[in-house]
């Protein structure tokens, strides 16, 4: 059984069909990529999966349960975490506080426990701190946990976002253009990190990415969409040589480079 199964997913905005009868499966323990030219509908797919958009039709089955009509915090609790194309950190909070916020979906102590500082609340707070430190250590910035998030260089801010996503303790991690803004060395470390997340933490990864070199290196299967329609899927070599992909995505990129 697939960890995630998307069945005929359709998303319309008035007369515009952003995603059109998209079907795909993400197997547990895999690294999969979703690619396509700008405006192809990639982020719309992620927004549907994480509850930010309500699909017009179709279904999304995660760990045997439909995600349709589920709210974002419930989807996170079920085990799906997500990072965004544009950084969404709490800039006025420390790195440590940002990552601890990722554990909110796993906390159970209510208002009374927080006010009275009950034993269970103290144990939960200790656990949250331990998980946050472990996640920061995993992504390589534990030594910066007391820095203000806004004072970190861009690459490290990205790592804070990844650590926060890991702190939700997901089964599936959605990465929306994780390499955006990173230099060559940082991209190389990102590839290594994604493989470690999958191999060491047993977390399945599904990413959107425009850096084709990174996609080809890290992905075991690639899905390609154009105008919301899936036009190809397969291993890197299959997709790279597919005439429809070359025309819709790779060809456009080459033309832009030649200008």
pLDDT at 85: 84
Q: Specify the pLDDT at position 65.
A: 96
Domain with CATH 3.40.50.300 in the chain: 1-79+170-259
Tens of pLDDT along 39-83? Answer: 899 999 999 999 999 999 999 999 999 999 999 999 999 999 999
Please report, for residues 23, 122, 226, 239, the alpha-carbon distance to residue 247 in angstroms, rounded to integers and kept in the order given.
22, 58, 10, 12
CA dihedral 224, 229, 230, 236 (to 10 degrees): -10
Give the per-residue pLDDT at 39.
Answer: 86
Query: For the CA atoms of 157, 90, 75, 138, what is the dihedral angle to 10 degrees?
Result: 40
* In contact, 185 and 152? CB cutoff 8 Å: no
Specify the pLDDT at position 145. 96
Distance, in Å, from the CA atom of 178 to the CA atom of 71, rounded to the nearest integer, reads 24
CATH topology of domain 1-79+170-259: Rossmann fold (3.40.50)
**Rounded to 5°, angle at Cα 83 from 81 and 84:** 140
pLDDT of residue 122: 79
Specify the pLDDT at position 250.
56
Q: How far is CA 38 from the centre of its chain?
A: 18
Is the CB of residue 18 less than 8 Å from the CB of residue 41?
yes
The list of the chain residues with pLDDT below 50 reads 111-112, 114-115, 253-259
């Amino acid at each position: 059984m697939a960890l995630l199964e998307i069945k005929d997913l359709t998303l319309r905005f008035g007369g515009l069909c952003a995603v059109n009868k998209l079907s795909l499966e993400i197997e547990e323990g895999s690294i999969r990529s979703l690619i396509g030219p700008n405006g192809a509908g990639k982020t719309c797919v992620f927004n549907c999966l994480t509850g930010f958009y309500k699909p017009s039709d179709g279904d999304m089955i995660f760990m045997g349960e439909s995600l349709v009509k589920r709210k974002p915090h419930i989807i996170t609790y079920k085990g799906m975490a997500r990072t965004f194309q544009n950084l969404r950190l709490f800039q006025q909070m420390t790195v440590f506080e940002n990552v601890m916020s990722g554990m909110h979906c796993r906390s159970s102590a209510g208002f009374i426990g927080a006010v009275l500082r009950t034993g269970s609340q103290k144990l939960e707070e200790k656990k949250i701190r331990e998980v946050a430190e472990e996640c920061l250590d995993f992504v390589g910035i534990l030594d910066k946990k007391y820095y203000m998030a806004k004072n970190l260089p861009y690459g490290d801010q990205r790592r804070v976002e990844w650590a926060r996503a890991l702190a939700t303790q997901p089964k599936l991690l959605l990465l929306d253009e994780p390499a955006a803004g990173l230099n060559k060395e940082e991209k190389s470390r990102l590839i290594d990190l994604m493989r470690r997340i999958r191999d060491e933490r047993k977390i399945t990864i599904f990413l959107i990415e425009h850096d084709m070199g990174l996609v080809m290196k890290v992905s075991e299967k690639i899905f390609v969409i154009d105008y919301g329609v899936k036009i190809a899927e397969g291993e890197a070599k299959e997709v790279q040589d597919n005439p429809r992909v070359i025309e819709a995505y790779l060809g456009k990129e080459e033309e832009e480079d030649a200008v």
